[in-house]
Structure 1
Amino acid sequence: MASTTPLWLPLVTAIAGIIGTLGAAIFTQVWAGRREDQRRRQDKAREDRYRSYSERQSAYQDMLHSFHRWNDEIVVGWRFQQADDDLTEIMENLASLERECYRSFERVTLLAPPEVVHYVSRLARLAASKQARLLDGSLDDPDDEGTQNIWRLALNAMRIDLGVPGGLIGLPPRQPTGPDGAVDSTSKPQQAGS
Protein backbone atom coordinates (compact mmCIF):
# COMPACT_ATOMS: atom_id res chain seq x y z
CA MET A 1 0.00 0.00 0.00
CA ALA A 2 1.41 3.27 -1.02
CA SER A 3 1.44 6.31 1.19
CA THR A 4 -0.79 9.16 0.11
CA THR A 5 1.08 11.81 2.09
CA PRO A 6 3.03 14.15 -0.15
CA LEU A 7 6.77 14.28 0.43
CA TRP A 8 6.92 18.01 1.05
CA LEU A 9 4.52 17.88 4.05
CA PRO A 10 6.93 16.10 6.48
CA LEU A 11 9.74 18.35 5.28
CA VAL A 12 7.67 21.50 5.94
CA THR A 13 6.63 20.14 9.33
CA ALA A 14 10.24 19.38 10.26
CA ILE A 15 11.40 22.83 9.10
CA ALA A 16 8.56 24.49 11.05
CA GLY A 17 9.57 22.54 14.17
CA ILE A 18 13.20 23.57 13.79
CA ILE A 19 12.24 27.23 13.18
CA GLY A 20 9.85 27.14 16.16
CA THR A 21 12.50 25.70 18.44
CA LEU A 22 15.13 28.20 17.28
CA GLY A 23 12.57 31.03 17.52
CA ALA A 24 11.68 30.06 21.08
CA ALA A 25 15.37 29.93 22.03
CA ILE A 26 16.02 33.34 20.44
CA PHE A 27 12.90 34.82 22.08
CA THR A 28 14.03 33.47 25.45
CA GLN A 29 17.50 34.97 25.01
CA VAL A 30 16.11 38.37 24.00
CA TRP A 31 13.64 38.34 26.90
CA ALA A 32 16.35 37.35 29.38
CA GLY A 33 18.63 40.08 27.98
CA ARG A 34 15.93 42.70 28.47
CA ARG A 35 15.32 41.54 32.04
CA GLU A 36 19.06 41.67 32.72
CA ASP A 37 19.29 45.19 31.26
CA GLN A 38 16.35 46.28 33.40
CA ARG A 39 17.94 44.74 36.50
CA ARG A 40 21.24 46.53 35.74
CA ARG A 41 19.41 49.86 35.30
CA GLN A 42 17.61 49.34 38.63
CA ASP A 43 20.87 48.46 40.37
CA LYS A 44 22.56 51.54 38.92
CA ALA A 45 19.65 53.76 39.98
CA ARG A 46 19.82 52.28 43.49
CA GLU A 47 23.58 52.86 43.64
CA ASP A 48 23.14 56.44 42.37
CA ARG A 49 20.49 57.13 45.03
CA TYR A 50 22.76 55.70 47.72
CA ARG A 51 25.74 57.71 46.45
CA SER A 52 23.62 60.88 46.38
CA TYR A 53 22.36 60.19 49.91
CA SER A 54 25.90 59.55 51.17
CA GLU A 55 27.25 62.69 49.50
CA ARG A 56 24.45 64.84 50.96
CA GLN A 57 24.95 63.30 54.40
CA SER A 58 28.70 63.99 54.25
CA ALA A 59 28.11 67.55 52.99
CA TYR A 60 25.65 68.20 55.82
CA GLN A 61 28.09 66.85 58.41
CA ASP A 62 30.92 69.02 57.04
CA MET A 63 28.67 72.08 56.96
CA LEU A 64 27.39 71.53 60.50
CA HIS A 65 30.93 71.03 61.78
CA SER A 66 32.35 74.10 60.03
CA PHE A 67 29.41 76.27 61.10
CA HIS A 68 29.84 75.18 64.73
CA ARG A 69 33.55 75.99 64.63
CA TRP A 70 32.91 79.38 63.01
CA ASN A 71 30.10 80.25 65.42
CA ASP A 72 32.16 79.09 68.43
CA GLU A 73 35.04 81.31 67.33
CA ILE A 74 32.65 84.27 67.03
CA VAL A 75 31.55 83.60 70.62
CA VAL A 76 35.21 83.43 71.74
CA GLY A 77 35.91 86.69 69.91
CA TRP A 78 32.93 88.34 71.58
CA ARG A 79 34.19 87.23 74.99
CA PHE A 80 37.66 88.60 74.19
CA GLN A 81 36.04 91.82 73.06
CA GLN A 82 34.01 92.05 76.29
CA ALA A 83 37.24 91.65 78.26
CA ASP A 84 39.03 94.26 76.06
CA ASP A 85 41.56 91.64 74.95
CA ASP A 86 43.43 91.68 71.64
CA LEU A 87 41.38 90.12 68.82
CA THR A 88 44.18 89.79 66.23
CA GLU A 89 44.55 86.01 66.49
CA ILE A 90 40.78 85.55 66.73
CA MET A 91 40.28 87.58 63.53
CA GLU A 92 42.78 85.42 61.67
CA ASN A 93 40.98 82.30 62.87
CA LEU A 94 37.61 83.78 61.91
CA ALA A 95 38.78 84.50 58.36
CA SER A 96 40.03 80.93 57.98
CA LEU A 97 36.88 79.43 59.48
CA GLU A 98 34.68 81.62 57.30
CA ARG A 99 36.41 80.34 54.16
CA GLU A 100 36.07 76.74 55.37
CA CYS A 101 32.41 77.27 56.17
CA TYR A 102 31.65 78.82 52.77
CA ARG A 103 33.34 75.88 51.02
CA SER A 104 31.05 73.49 52.89
CA PHE A 105 28.03 75.73 52.20
CA GLU A 106 28.87 75.62 48.47
CA ARG A 107 28.96 71.83 48.56
CA VAL A 108 25.56 71.71 50.28
CA THR A 109 24.21 74.18 47.72
CA LEU A 110 25.25 71.81 44.92
CA LEU A 111 23.79 68.66 46.48
CA ALA A 112 20.82 69.64 48.66
CA PRO A 113 17.18 70.31 47.81
CA PRO A 114 15.99 73.94 47.71
CA GLU A 115 14.57 74.02 51.25
CA VAL A 116 17.87 72.93 52.78
CA VAL A 117 19.76 75.42 50.59
CA HIS A 118 17.41 78.18 51.76
CA TYR A 119 18.12 77.58 55.45
CA VAL A 120 21.83 76.98 54.93
CA SER A 121 22.04 80.28 53.05
CA ARG A 122 20.27 82.01 55.92
CA LEU A 123 22.76 80.47 58.35
CA ALA A 124 25.69 81.66 56.25
CA ARG A 125 24.31 85.20 56.01
CA LEU A 126 23.58 85.23 59.73
CA ALA A 127 27.09 84.06 60.66
CA ALA A 128 28.67 86.61 58.31
CA SER A 129 26.47 89.32 59.84
CA LYS A 130 27.47 88.27 63.36
CA GLN A 131 31.14 88.33 62.38
CA ALA A 132 30.77 91.81 60.84
CA ARG A 133 29.00 93.07 63.99
CA LEU A 134 31.79 91.54 66.10
CA LEU A 135 34.38 93.44 64.04
CA ASP A 136 32.60 96.76 64.38
CA GLY A 137 31.81 96.21 68.07
CA SER A 138 28.02 96.10 67.73
CA LEU A 139 27.45 92.40 68.50
CA ASP A 140 25.28 92.16 71.62
CA ASP A 141 24.67 88.43 71.96
CA PRO A 142 26.61 85.98 69.77
CA ASP A 143 24.36 83.06 70.64
CA ASP A 144 20.99 84.72 70.15
CA GLU A 145 17.66 82.97 69.77
CA GLY A 146 17.40 83.89 66.08
CA THR A 147 20.56 81.91 65.33
CA GLN A 148 19.24 78.95 67.28
CA ASN A 149 15.90 79.07 65.42
CA ILE A 150 17.50 79.17 61.98
CA TRP A 151 19.89 76.44 63.07
CA ARG A 152 16.98 74.21 64.09
CA LEU A 153 15.09 74.93 60.87
CA ALA A 154 18.16 74.05 58.79
CA LEU A 155 18.78 70.91 60.83
CA ASN A 156 15.13 69.84 60.48
CA ALA A 157 15.24 70.40 56.70
CA MET A 158 18.35 68.21 56.53
CA ARG A 159 16.75 65.52 58.69
CA ILE A 160 13.67 65.50 56.44
CA ASP A 161 15.85 65.30 53.32
CA LEU A 162 17.81 62.37 54.74
CA GLY A 163 14.70 60.64 56.09
CA VAL A 164 16.01 60.57 59.65
CA PRO A 165 13.43 58.88 61.89
CA GLY A 166 12.48 60.20 65.28
CA GLY A 167 10.76 63.45 64.49
CA LEU A 168 11.99 66.98 64.27
CA ILE A 169 13.91 69.11 66.70
CA GLY A 170 11.47 71.38 68.50
CA LEU A 171 11.37 75.11 68.01
CA PRO A 172 10.52 77.62 70.70
CA PRO A 173 7.33 79.65 70.18
CA ARG A 174 7.57 81.79 67.05
CA GLN A 175 8.70 85.36 67.64
CA PRO A 176 9.03 88.24 65.17
CA THR A 177 12.46 88.29 63.57
CA GLY A 178 14.52 90.96 61.88
CA PRO A 179 15.99 90.73 58.36
CA ASP A 180 19.04 88.79 59.55
CA GLY A 181 16.92 86.20 61.34
CA ALA A 182 17.61 87.55 64.82
CA VAL A 183 14.71 88.01 67.18
CA ASP A 184 13.33 91.54 66.82
CA SER A 185 13.62 93.02 70.30
CA THR A 186 11.32 95.93 69.42
CA SER A 187 8.30 93.64 68.98
CA LYS A 188 6.48 91.77 71.68
CA PRO A 189 6.28 87.98 71.34
CA GLN A 190 2.97 86.82 69.93
CA GLN A 191 0.65 85.31 72.50
CA ALA A 192 -1.27 82.15 71.73
CA GLY A 193 -4.80 82.94 70.56
CA SER A 194 -4.11 86.60 69.64
Structure 2
Amino acid sequence: MSLSTPLWVALAVAALGVLGTLAASIVTQVLTRRRDDRRWSLEREERARQWQREDAARWLADRRAAYTELLVVLHEQDRVLEAVRRRQAQALTLDGPVSARLAALSDPIDRAWHAVELLAPGEVTRIAGELTRELRDQGDQVLGRVTGPPGGPAPGDRQERFAALGAAMRKDLGVQIREPDPLR
Protein backbone atom coordinates (compact mmCIF):
# COMPACT_ATOMS: atom_id res chain seq x y z
CA MET A 1 0.00 0.00 0.00
CA SER A 2 1.17 3.28 -0.96
CA LEU A 3 0.52 6.33 1.14
CA SER A 4 0.59 8.69 -1.75
CA THR A 5 -1.89 11.48 -2.19
CA PRO A 6 -3.94 11.47 -5.31
CA LEU A 7 -2.80 13.90 -7.95
CA TRP A 8 -6.04 15.81 -8.02
CA VAL A 9 -5.74 16.67 -4.31
CA ALA A 10 -2.24 18.05 -4.81
CA LEU A 11 -3.43 20.08 -7.79
CA ALA A 12 -6.45 21.35 -5.85
CA VAL A 13 -4.27 22.41 -2.89
CA ALA A 14 -1.82 24.14 -5.25
CA ALA A 15 -4.67 25.91 -7.06
CA LEU A 16 -6.17 27.02 -3.71
CA GLY A 17 -2.77 28.35 -2.65
CA VAL A 18 -2.36 30.32 -5.87
CA LEU A 19 -5.96 31.59 -5.68
CA GLY A 20 -5.53 32.54 -2.02
CA THR A 21 -2.33 34.44 -2.74
CA LEU A 22 -3.96 36.18 -5.71
CA ALA A 23 -7.08 36.99 -3.66
CA ALA A 24 -4.96 38.36 -0.80
CA SER A 25 -3.08 40.58 -3.26
CA ILE A 26 -6.32 41.87 -4.80
CA VAL A 27 -7.96 42.49 -1.41
CA THR A 28 -4.84 44.33 -0.23
CA GLN A 29 -4.84 46.51 -3.35
CA VAL A 30 -8.56 47.31 -3.00
CA LEU A 31 -8.20 48.21 0.68
CA THR A 32 -5.10 50.32 -0.01
CA ARG A 33 -6.88 52.12 -2.85
CA ARG A 34 -9.89 52.86 -0.60
CA ARG A 35 -7.64 54.14 2.17
CA ASP A 36 -5.74 56.33 -0.30
CA ASP A 37 -8.99 57.61 -1.82
CA ARG A 38 -10.27 58.55 1.65
CA ARG A 39 -6.99 60.25 2.51
CA TRP A 40 -6.94 62.19 -0.77
CA SER A 41 -10.57 63.14 -0.30
CA LEU A 42 -9.81 64.46 3.17
CA GLU A 43 -6.80 66.36 1.84
CA ARG A 44 -8.93 67.90 -0.95
CA GLU A 45 -11.58 68.92 1.56
CA GLU A 46 -8.96 70.44 3.84
CA ARG A 47 -7.43 72.33 0.89
CA ALA A 48 -10.88 73.58 -0.10
CA ARG A 49 -11.51 74.78 3.47
CA GLN A 50 -8.08 76.44 3.52
CA TRP A 51 -8.81 78.20 0.21
CA GLN A 52 -12.18 79.35 1.57
CA ARG A 53 -10.46 80.75 4.68
CA GLU A 54 -7.85 82.48 2.52
CA ASP A 55 -10.56 83.89 0.23
CA ALA A 56 -12.54 85.16 3.23
CA ALA A 57 -9.39 86.76 4.66
CA ARG A 58 -8.63 88.39 1.28
CA TRP A 59 -12.20 89.74 0.99
CA LEU A 60 -11.97 91.06 4.54
CA ALA A 61 -8.66 92.77 3.78
CA ASP A 62 -10.06 94.20 0.53
CA ARG A 63 -13.15 95.55 2.32
CA ARG A 64 -11.02 96.97 5.13
CA ALA A 65 -8.76 98.75 2.62
CA ALA A 66 -11.74 100.06 0.61
CA TYR A 67 -13.47 101.31 3.76
CA THR A 68 -10.31 103.02 4.97
CA GLU A 69 -9.71 104.72 1.65
CA LEU A 70 -13.31 105.95 1.43
CA LEU A 71 -13.31 107.27 4.99
CA VAL A 72 -10.00 109.08 4.43
CA VAL A 73 -11.17 110.89 1.28
CA LEU A 74 -14.61 111.68 2.71
CA HIS A 75 -13.11 113.14 5.88
CA GLU A 76 -10.67 115.16 3.76
CA GLN A 77 -13.57 116.45 1.63
CA ASP A 78 -15.45 117.34 4.81
CA ARG A 79 -12.41 119.21 6.19
CA VAL A 80 -12.03 121.18 2.96
CA LEU A 81 -15.75 122.00 2.92
CA GLU A 82 -15.50 123.12 6.54
CA ALA A 83 -12.65 125.46 5.55
CA VAL A 84 -14.85 126.80 2.76
CA ARG A 85 -17.74 127.34 5.20
CA ARG A 86 -15.45 129.24 7.57
CA ARG A 87 -14.20 131.45 4.73
CA GLN A 88 -17.76 132.10 3.58
CA ALA A 89 -18.85 132.94 7.14
CA GLN A 90 -16.08 135.51 7.28
CA ALA A 91 -17.16 136.88 3.86
CA LEU A 92 -13.83 135.80 2.32
CA THR A 93 -13.51 134.55 -1.24
CA LEU A 94 -12.46 131.02 -2.05
CA ASP A 95 -8.70 130.93 -2.61
CA GLY A 96 -6.84 128.82 -5.16
CA PRO A 97 -5.33 126.14 -2.90
CA VAL A 98 -8.66 125.31 -1.26
CA SER A 99 -10.53 125.08 -4.56
CA ALA A 100 -7.68 123.08 -6.10
CA ARG A 101 -7.74 120.60 -3.19
CA LEU A 102 -11.52 120.33 -3.47
CA ALA A 103 -11.27 119.66 -7.22
CA ALA A 104 -8.44 117.16 -6.70
CA LEU A 105 -10.58 115.06 -4.31
CA SER A 106 -13.16 114.23 -6.98
CA ASP A 107 -11.30 111.29 -8.58
CA PRO A 108 -10.13 109.69 -5.30
CA ILE A 109 -13.68 109.90 -3.97
CA ASP A 110 -14.99 108.19 -7.12
CA ARG A 111 -12.39 105.39 -6.92
CA ALA A 112 -12.98 104.81 -3.23
CA TRP A 113 -16.76 104.87 -3.64
CA HIS A 114 -16.72 102.36 -6.50
CA ALA A 115 -14.54 99.95 -4.51
CA VAL A 116 -16.94 100.14 -1.54
CA GLU A 117 -19.94 99.80 -3.83
CA LEU A 118 -18.44 96.62 -5.28
CA LEU A 119 -17.37 95.00 -2.00
CA ALA A 120 -19.71 96.23 0.72
CA PRO A 121 -23.06 94.84 1.85
CA GLY A 122 -26.27 96.83 1.40
CA GLU A 123 -26.30 98.80 4.65
CA VAL A 124 -22.74 100.07 4.24
CA THR A 125 -23.33 100.84 0.55
CA ARG A 126 -26.50 102.81 1.32
CA ILE A 127 -24.98 104.95 4.07
CA ALA A 128 -21.69 105.45 2.21
CA GLY A 129 -23.53 106.35 -0.99
CA GLU A 130 -25.68 108.98 0.72
CA LEU A 131 -22.69 110.56 2.46
CA THR A 132 -20.53 110.44 -0.67
CA ARG A 133 -23.23 112.05 -2.83
CA GLU A 134 -23.86 114.73 -0.23
CA LEU A 135 -20.19 115.70 0.07
CA ARG A 136 -19.60 115.57 -3.68
CA ASP A 137 -22.68 117.71 -4.36
CA GLN A 138 -21.55 120.29 -1.84
CA GLY A 139 -18.07 120.31 -3.35
CA ASP A 140 -19.53 120.72 -6.84
CA GLN A 141 -21.66 123.64 -5.63
CA VAL A 142 -18.64 125.36 -4.09
CA LEU A 143 -16.65 124.88 -7.30
CA GLY A 144 -19.55 126.22 -9.38
CA ARG A 145 -20.09 122.96 -11.25
CA VAL A 146 -23.68 122.87 -10.02
CA THR A 147 -25.87 125.88 -9.52
CA GLY A 148 -28.36 126.32 -6.76
CA PRO A 149 -28.37 127.08 -3.08
CA PRO A 150 -25.92 125.18 -0.92
CA GLY A 151 -27.73 122.30 0.64
CA GLY A 152 -27.25 119.27 2.74
CA PRO A 153 -27.42 118.66 6.43
CA ALA A 154 -25.59 120.72 8.98
CA PRO A 155 -22.04 119.61 9.87
CA GLY A 156 -23.29 118.08 13.14
CA ASP A 157 -25.76 115.90 11.23
CA ARG A 158 -22.96 114.84 8.92
CA GLN A 159 -20.86 113.75 11.89
CA GLU A 160 -23.73 111.51 12.99
CA ARG A 161 -23.78 110.02 9.50
CA PHE A 162 -20.01 109.49 9.62
CA ALA A 163 -20.54 107.71 12.94
CA ALA A 164 -23.34 105.57 11.44
CA LEU A 165 -21.11 104.70 8.47
CA GLY A 166 -18.23 103.76 10.78
CA ALA A 167 -20.54 101.58 12.88
CA ALA A 168 -21.90 99.80 9.79
CA MET A 169 -18.38 99.22 8.49
CA ARG A 170 -17.15 97.88 11.83
CA LYS A 171 -20.17 95.57 12.01
CA ASP A 172 -19.45 94.24 8.51
CA LEU A 173 -15.78 93.70 9.37
CA GLY A 174 -16.68 91.91 12.60
CA VAL A 175 -15.04 94.57 14.74
CA GLN A 176 -16.67 95.16 18.08
CA ILE A 177 -18.56 98.44 17.99
CA ARG A 178 -17.08 100.86 20.45
CA GLU A 179 -19.39 102.36 23.02
CA PRO A 180 -18.92 106.09 23.57
CA ASP A 181 -16.89 106.94 26.64
CA PRO A 182 -19.21 108.84 29.05
CA LEU A 183 -16.23 110.66 30.57
CA ARG A 184 -15.27 112.34 27.32
TM tier relative to shorter chain: 0.7 to 0.9
Matches within 5 A, 1:144-163: 144-163=155-174
State the TM-score, normalizing by the size of structure 1: 0.77
Q: Secondary structure at the match of 2:105?
A: helix
Residue 95 of structure 2 corresponds to residue 84 of structure 1:
no
How far does residue 12 in structure 1 lie from its aligned partner after superposition?
A: 1.5
Residues 168 and 101 (structure 1 numbering): CA distance in 2 closer, same or farther, change over 3 Å?
farther
In 1: Cα distance, 2:81 partner to 2:148 partner: 12
Residue 107 of structure 2 corresponds to residue 107 of structure 1:
no
In 1: Cα distance, 2:161 partner to 2:119 partner: 20
How far does residue 29 in structure 1 lie from its aligned partner after superposition?
A: 1.5
Q: Secondary structure at the match of 1:50?
A: helix
Paired residues of 2:138 and 2:151 also in contact (CA < 8 A): no
The answer to which of 45-54 and 27-36 deviates more is 27-36
Matching residue of 1:123 = 131
Q: Secondary structure at the match of 2:92?
A: coil
Matching residue of 1:38 = 45
Q: Secondary structure at the match of 1:85?
A: coil
Residues 142 and 80 (structure 1 numbering): CA distance in 2 closer, same or farther, change over 3 Å?
farther
How far does residue 56 in structure 1 lie from its aligned partner after superposition?
A: 0.3
In 2: Cα distance, 1:52 partner to 1:161 partner: 11
Q: Secondary structure at the match of 1:24?
A: helix
Residue 23 of structure 2 corresponds to residue 12 of structure 1:
no
In 1: Cα distance, 2:38 partner to 2:73 partner: 52
In 1: Cα distance, 2:153 partner to 2:124 partner: 23
Structure 1 unaligned spans of 5+: 171-194
Paired residues of 2:70 and 2:112 also in contact (CA < 8 A): yes
In 2: Cα distance, 1:155 partner to 1:9 partner: 79
Candidates 64, 67, 77, aligned match of 1:70: 77
Q: Secondary structure at the match of 2:176?
A: coil
What is the alpha-carbon root mean square deviation over aligned residues?
A: 2.5
In 2: Cα distance, 1:146 partner to 1:166 partner: 20
Residues 42 and 169 (structure 1 numbering): CA distance in 2 closer, same or farther, change over 3 Å?
farther
Structure 2 unaligned spans of 5+: none
Point out 4+ residue stretches in structure 1 off by more than 6 angstroms.
Answer: none
How far does residue 91 in structure 1 lie from its aligned partner after superposition?
A: 1.8
Give 2:158's aligned amino acid: T
Any idea what the Cα deviations from partners look like across 1:18-44, whole Å, max 9, x if unmatched? 101111111121111111111111111
In 2: Cα distance, 1:53 partner to 1:157 partner: 14
Q: Alignment length, in residue pairs? A: 170
